[in-house]
Amino acid sequence: MKTGIFSGSFNPVHIGHLALANYLCEYEGLDEVWFLVTPHNPLKTEDELMDDELRLKLVQLAIAGYPRFKASDIEFHLPRPSYTIHTLEKLKEIYPDREFHLIIGSDNWKLFPRWYQSERILAENPVLVYPRPGYPVSSDSLSENVKVASSPTFEISSTFIRRAMEEGKDIRYFLHPAVYEALLSEFSR
């Protein structure tokens, strides 16, 4: 079972995340995509991070009813800061019958050498890099276990979503309807 590991803050999850994961299942050979909600990315600040449980709930709402998507809080239960190598080790321990593929954006691919034990991640795991605007990746110089997806790019960010919600903008078509409704009630408190 080829399982894509889509790890992120999902602060909040939006249609760009969902459309990308859908594309990776339908066109890049993944059987499932697991959305791993991260408690804290060591390369980012926690200033604007919504509550962990809220972000997990929003992912669960967004993927409900689509059997190829799963939400995971595994990193909530691992030591912090959360490092991808430790997450992958734990997943392989719990689910030895799965082949995990790390999904990362081309923006993060540029930072990948700074990741904790990046060489080991590459040596032990297939990596699927998806395009992000302004961060081209040449597939010529990649190791054989790294593949560049030819997915469409989405110029939507969680930062944009949060700012728009704070400003009272109606951005319902940028979010899954259930996520939009949950965020409306959250932002109206």
Return the pLDDT at 164.
Answer: 93
Q: Which domains does the chain have, with CATH numbers?
A: 2-187 (3.40.50.620)
Return the pLDDT at 45.
Answer: 64
pLDDT band at 140; cut points 50, 70, 90 = confident
Do the bridges between strand 32-37 and strand 99-105 make them parallel or antiparallel, or are there none, so unpaired? unpaired
Give the residue-averaged pLDDT of 87-104.
97
Over 90: is that where the pLDDT of 174 sits? yes
Q: Note the pLDDT tens digit of each residue in 71-90.
A: 999 999 999 888 999 999 99
Q: Using DSSP, state whether 104 is helix, strand or coil.
A: strand
Return the pLDDT at 54.
Answer: 95
Q: Strands across the sheet with 146-148, in order?
A: 69-72, 32-37, 2-8, 99-105, 127-130, 146-148
Q: Note the pLDDT tens digit of each residue in 29-49.
A: 999 999 999 996 555 665 678
pLDDT band at 189; cut points 50, 70, 90 = low
pLDDT band at 173; cut points 50, 70, 90 = very high
Over 60: is that where the pLDDT of 57 sits? yes
- Residue 129 pairs in a beta bridge with 104, 148
